[in-house]
Structure 1
């Protein structure tokens, strides 16, 4: 198989992995989704939200640049590790789904044993990042690993695997408070809960790409559970996300830039709801990816608020 033919089906054409990465690294970079980095960005957003909100609440920015940089590295590395674990556990299922059978393990680009070694290397890099923080933050970060390990199996058990993904992908909402305050308070928990609702909604949109194949092979998802009621479900979960985050902002004493960021974030989510067509896979993918922009808009408001409050 030529490397051009080895490109993963849902990777962006002419992505940097397929264009410039050394040939021997490409299967491993594909395992980590570096050719499809949207998941890493979505994992990063709650981390950056909590870093900015906690720094603003503390009226202290001295840890914020460090958190922004280390959370960025950690999100991309640990997303890569999580995806590698997912592909190891799902390699037989992936071979049966049109969108995923081109992934490196079912496509024969890399063995499960080599993928496991790559997983360990990424986890070690993530550990090095985590060790830059205080002991409470280190323990908080390590605690997330149980959820990450369990997630790939949830789609075999429950129609709510997106809720478990939400628990894992939103963990960063706790980390900023763990670093700044060395505790997790009600503000952090509300931000975490809001992020979980956000993840459930956007991953439901994503899962609508695979509903036919998932139904055939017995994989469960909220996309199958909600079906034609998906738009209503998005209203509920996106509405809960905005509501819970708004309470977190209130408890943190956030100023007007944070509220403007939340309003724009909410407007973006409302736009997704009006556009959704669950029968249009390409549109579902575009709307799913647009959540990075929604998250960045909220982060921009929180970041400006942190700077103004520290000044």
Structure 2
């Protein structure tokens, strides 16, 4: 078999990922469009869902979180992250070709047409809808309300230096959906969890945006990384402090117990490590630290699960 051209691999994908190694040639660009070769986005979208479901389980008396619900939300996170990324790439098709990190993506590289991408986006969205319809009516309504945020996010970097806020609003909506799916209502705990997640997104996505500072200036795209400039580390410390504080407050509202706070201390240590080792001028380091936020999320989730079992 002849080798594929260099554009077959997306620049910021994980080396030797399963898509590059195993996906059929016809499916590879669509897998890349859905970011299946870069699963970190699924993790970051899924974590608030898992946190919220387990937090609600503690509030309901404890025990193991509903496995069926966790599986459904995982499938939904994969589908809707893929649909969101596809939509984002359609909107950004005239921008991505001017950025070194994104010009190898399927649409700007010409491997997927806009029409093909739109059809693929609809198919992924339908999978997400099927998952959503498995939940109770209240959770369905909460889930559908997120579509407005998803629709406006890709345009925000053209009008504000704070597009990460809008990403946080959309990406952490699962904190509300998960609780609603378990208890059929909302309370202060998921709302506080949602706010904590927004601060978390402001942190990790600012780190991500540090990779593109020079290109963003040239093409006129805005981000918090450009807004903060030399004060970026101080802002990040603030964001992660508010994240940990918000998670602690959400736990306190449902009496999560000492095990959760022990795990949260581990999460805080992980966040501190990110701040200490961050090199704002090293794109590879920034990408690695961005991806490491999956581990922060898993530490918090593990603490919540153990706390629920001990409740």
TM-score bucket (shorter structure): over 0.9
- 1:100-249 equivalence runs, <5 A: 100-249=102-251
Contact 1:50/1:174 (<8 A) preserved: yes
* Equivalent position SS for 1:209: helix
Partner of 1:274: 276
Which residue does 2:264 correspond to in 1? 262
Distance 1:60 1:279 in 2: 45
Map 1:290-301; keep pairs closer than 5 Å: 290-301=292-303
TM normalised by structure 2 equals: 0.97
Question: For 2:195 and 2:215, how far apart are their aligned partners in 1?
Answer: 31
Give the 3 Å change call, closer, same or farther, for CA 104–181 of structure 1 in structure 2: same
1:3 to partner: Cα distance: 3.0
Find the partner of 2:19 among 17, 20, 26: 17
Gaps of 5+ in 1: none
3-state SS in 2 of match to 1:208 = helix
Identify the residue that residue 75 of structure 1 maps to in structure 2: 77
**Quick check: 1:4–1:18 contact (8 Å CA) kept in 2?**
no
1:22 Cα deviation (Å)? 1.1
User: C-alpha distance in 1, partners of 2:289/2:15?
Assistant: 18
| 8 A contact 2:64–2:309 mirrored in 1 | no
For 1:3 and 1:50, the matched residues in 2 are separated by 43
Q: 1:13 to 1:183 in 2, by over 3 A?
A: same
Partner secondary structure for residue 26 of structure 2: helix
Distance in 1 (alpha carbons) for counterparts of 2:236 and 2:36:
28
For residue 61 of structure 1, report the CA deviation from its aligned partner: 4.4
CA offsets 1:222-241 (integer angstroms, 9 cap, x no match): 00001110110011111111
C-alpha contact 1:188 1:248 (8 A) present in aligned 2:
yes
Q: Which runs of 5+ in 2 are unaligned?
A: none
- CA distances 1:10-50 after superposition (whole Å, capped 9, x unpaired): 11121111111111111110000001111111111111000
Contact 1:63 1:180 in 2 (8 A): no
Structure 1 position 271, deviation (Å): 0.8
Measured in 1, the distance between the counterparts of 2:100 and 2:258 equals 47
Deviation of 1:63 after TM superposition, in Å, equals 5.9
* Partner SS state of residue 128, structure 1: helix
Deviation at residue 176 of structure 1 after TM alignment? 1.8
Whether the 8 Å CA contact 1:255–1:305 is kept in 2: the answer is: yes
Distance 1:70 1:307 in 2: 21
* Pairwise CA distance, 1:306: 1.1
User: Over aligned residue pairs, what C-alpha RMSD do you find?
Assistant: 1.2
